Amino acid sequence: MALFGLFKKNKTENDVPEGPGGSENLVESGTEDIKEAILDEIEQEEEAEETTVAEEEEDENDSMNVTGNVQGEIREAVLEEISSGEEDEADTEDAEDTDDDMHMETMRDDIQEAVATEAEESEKKQGFFRRLVTGLTKTRNNIASGIDSIFSSFSSIDEEFYEELEEVLVMADIGIQATTNILDQLRQKVKEEKIKDVSECKQLLINSIKEQMRVESNAYEFEDKKSVVLVIGVNGVGKTTSIGKLSGQLKQKGRKVLVAAADTFRAAAIDQLAEWTKRAGVDIIAQDEGSDAAAVVFDALQAAKARNTDVLLVDTAGRLHNKKNLMEELKKINRIIDREYPEAFRETFIVLDGTTGQNALAQAKQFSEVADITGIILTKLDGTAKGGIAIAIQSEINIPVKYIGVGESIDDLQKFNADDFVDALFDTGE
Ligand SMILES: Nc1nc2c(ncn2[C@@H]2O[C@H](COP(=O)(O)OP(=O)(O)OP(=O)(O)O)[C@@H](O)[C@H]2O)c(=O)[nH]1
Ligand SMILES: [Mg+2]
């Protein structure tokens, strides 16, 4: 891979770029050269790989027997055992075959494990909801207390009532457009259902917000396909952390995960990702600091195909939409994925920092002009007063929020659930 060395930048302590500004230099020269060179490389690599692919695939197939579908099979077997467990147990007592005894022992262990896992999962879910409720405390104070005071001070549903509601929703960062949608729907329902009582209106309002935010059921298709997930966004929003968390969760689900360290600007960025992948127990493809990001992606794509990877997660450097060269780099990465792995299922997640409110909305709009964004990861919802932004994002740019971050540990990235979110926001106690 000496070729890629050509594009490495020799750095001193002082010229390590801090962010998008400094990093532009890395891609200024040689975009086309790299592309051409990569094409040349493909041919050579393919020849070399043909021999290794076969070997690796064999290995991978073996390991898939352990890590791939087998968890689901164990679960099914365990569930079957649970229903017929007692009968089988009686049989085992009579049987003299020690193999059967051992088999039952294993199955009993599996059952215990499954029960423990269920309990753990339910506890985790409750834990998550509690975290969400806590994380949304400030937002809730913004929205719910304002709404409560409107509902307690108005006795009839009139124009002034709607105006006050509008003000509270806009103040909580829900945004003008989302607020208008929510209130239009509310007005319509109030009319249709001939509602006169203000108190009956509150649940309608909550439902109307939930409707705005519902995520399509096929939103997580990528988890079960051979997929490439590109993760983009501005500096410090939580891209690397979210990839770390997601890789751990996918691995726990039995998926074969590979992570590409395509943020090559700082050694620290690569180290940070390596640390997460170590914790998650997944593989990483990385090159030295200063390497061409597209080359890392290229390598990762080859590795993903050769290793029969299920999900390839690509971490990228933080970039501002107005940094032309960085946006070009992003387009190039996209092209390489399209060309090298056209059959892969594609996801492009933009990570947005929930604490930045309307700014996050602007970022999503700007990035969607250069990338085909398929989902949003909204981070740092723990401890922000601006959680209403999730609602604004959903309705204003029509890109679903697929994950939310409510803390820094591996379980703190959760699939977005509109009902949970709005319940936590209004703390309806349901
Ligand atoms: N409280 C909280 N902190 C978070 C969350 N997600 C990320 N962080 C923190 O935000 C900081 C930045 O996260 P990174 O993952 O490094 O962000 P990044 O987008 O990769 O940053 P660059 O690579 O510099 O562009 C870290 O300290 C994370 O621990 C979250 O959901 N909640
Ligand atoms: Mg990062």
Q: pLDDT for 90-111, tens place per residue?
A: 444 454 556 667 777 777 777 7
Q: How many residues does the chain have?
A: 430
For 83, residues 6+ apart whose C-beta sits below 8 A from its C-beta are: none
| Alpha carbon distances (Å) from 50 to 3, 241, 300, 343, 401 | 21, 35, 16, 19, 40
Residue 172 · residue 143 · CB < 8 Å? yes
Class of domain 137-213 (CATH, top level): mainly alpha
Entry pTM: 0.71
DSSP state of 364: H
- Copy the structure tokens of residue 265: 């600007």
Alpha carbon of residue 428 to chain centroid: 27
Buried b (16+ CB within 10 A) or exposed e, 313-340: bbbbbbbebebebbbebbebbbebbeeb
- What per-residue confidence (pLDDT) applies to 428? 53
- Copy the structure tokens of residue 57: 């695939």
d(CA 425, CA 209): 11
> Which residues keep their CB under 5 angstroms from ion ligand 2?
239-240
Nearest to 364 by CA among 377, 353, 350: 350
Nearest to 395 by CA among 167, 138, 214: 214
Pocket test for ligand 1, best of 134, 241, 377 (most atoms within 8 A of CB): 241
Q: What is the pLDDT of residues 122-135, one digit of tens each?
A: 676 667 787 778 77
Percent of the chain with pLDDT over 90: 37
Cα distance between the two ends of the chain = 58
Q: What is the pLDDT of residues 342-397, one digit of tens each?
A: 999 999 999 999 998 888 988 998 898 889 999 999 999 886 777 888 888 877 78
Same fold yes or no, 137-213 and 218-426: no
For 86, residues 6+ apart whose C-beta sits below 8 A from its C-beta are: none
Alpha carbon of residue 389 to chain centroid: 17
Residue 245 clears pLDDT 50, i.e. is over it: yes
d(CA 245, CA 228): 16
Question: How much is the mean pLDDT over the chain?
Answer: 77
Structural domain spans, the chain: 70-92+99-133, 137-213, 218-426
Residue 232 clears pLDDT 90, i.e. is over it: yes
Residue 20 clears pLDDT 60, i.e. is over it: no
d(CA 232, CA 348): 7
Strands, sheet with 401-405, edge to edge from the N-terminal-most edge strand: 283-285, 257-262, 311-316, 227-232, 345-353, 375-379, 401-405, 413-415
- Copy the structure tokens of residue 428: 């309806």
Pocket test for ligand 1, best of 234, 266, 408, 412 (most atoms within 8 A of CB): 408
Residue 339 clears pLDDT 70, i.e. is over it: yes
Residue 242 · residue 271 · CB < 8 Å? no
Q: How confident is the model at residue 309 (pLDDT cuts 50, 70, 90)?
A: very high
Residue 238 Cβ < 6 Å to ligand 1: yes
Residue 31 clears pLDDT 70, i.e. is over it: no
d(CA 100, CA 102): 5
d(CA 221, CA 138): 33
Residue 379 Cβ < 6 Å to ligand 1: yes
| Alpha carbon distances (Å) from 397 to 21, 207, 361, 362, 392 | 27, 20, 8, 10, 8
Alpha helices in 14-158 (DSSP H): 20-28, 31-67, 70-94, 98-135, 137-153
Residue 273 Cβ < 6 Å to ligand 1: no
> Which of 40-49, 206-215, 283-292, 298-307 comes out lowest in average pLDDT?
40-49
Residue 263 Cβ < 6 Å to ligand 1: yes
Nearest bound ligand to the CA of residue 244: 1
Q: What is the pLDDT of residues 166-184, one digit of tens each?
A: 998 888 888 888 899 899 9
Nearest residue by C-alpha to atom 13 in ligand 1: 238
Nearest to 211 by CA among 415, 391, 397, 399: 391
Does the 218-426 domain belong in CATH 3.40.50.300? Answer: yes
At how many degrees (to 10) do helices 389-397 and 358-368 cross? 30
* Strand-pair category, 401-405 with 413-415: antiparallel
Neighbours of 64 (CB within 10 A): 16
* Strand-pair category, 375-379 with 311-316: unpaired
Q: Which atom of ligand 1 is nearest to the CA of 241?
A: 15
Residue 237 Cβ < 6 Å to ligand 1: yes
Nearest residue by C-alpha to atom 9 in ligand 1: 238
Q: What is the pLDDT of residues 382-414, one digit of tens each?
A: 867 778 888 888 777 888 899 999 888 787 898
- What per-residue confidence (pLDDT) applies to 41? 58
Residue 364 · residue 398 · CB < 8 Å? no
Residue 234 clears pLDDT 80, i.e. is over it: yes
Cα dihedral angle (202, 204, 205, 209), rounded to 10 degrees? 140
